[in-house]
Amino acid sequence: MSSLDRLAEKLATDTLKIQDATGEDRLYMEVAQVLATSSQTLEEAFLTEIRVHLAERKARSFLENKIATLQAEIERAEAKGPL
C-alpha cells in the first residue's frame, strides 16, 4: 500500500468517525475542498476511500436487514408449528 493510499484511508476513516459523531453528513466534502487546494491526487484518493466506505456501509446494512427478515420468517414459521 502506498503512502497516498494509507493517508487517504486514514483520513477517510477519521472523517467518517467525526461525521458520524457530529451528524454532519457532508463533512467529507469540506475535507475534500481543503485537500483540493493543496493536492488533487490526495483529494481523489480520499474521495475514492469515502465512496468505498459508504458503499460498504450500505451493502452491510442491506445484508443485516436481509438476515433479520429471514430470521423473522424462520421464527414465524417455527411459532406456527408443524403443518
pLDDT tens digits along 31-81: 999 999 999 999 999 999 999 999 999 999 999 999 999 999 999 999 887
Domain boundaries, the chain: 3-80
Contact criterion met (CB below 8 Å) for 75 and 67: no
pLDDT at 82 over 90: no
Indicate if the pLDDT at residue 83 is higher than 70: no
DSSP assignment string, 35-75: HHTT-HHHHHHHHHHHHHHHHHHHHHHHHHHHHHHHHHHHH
Nearest to 49 by CA among 1, 5, 17: 5
pLDDT at 81: 76
1 pLDDT band, cuts 50/70/90, is confident
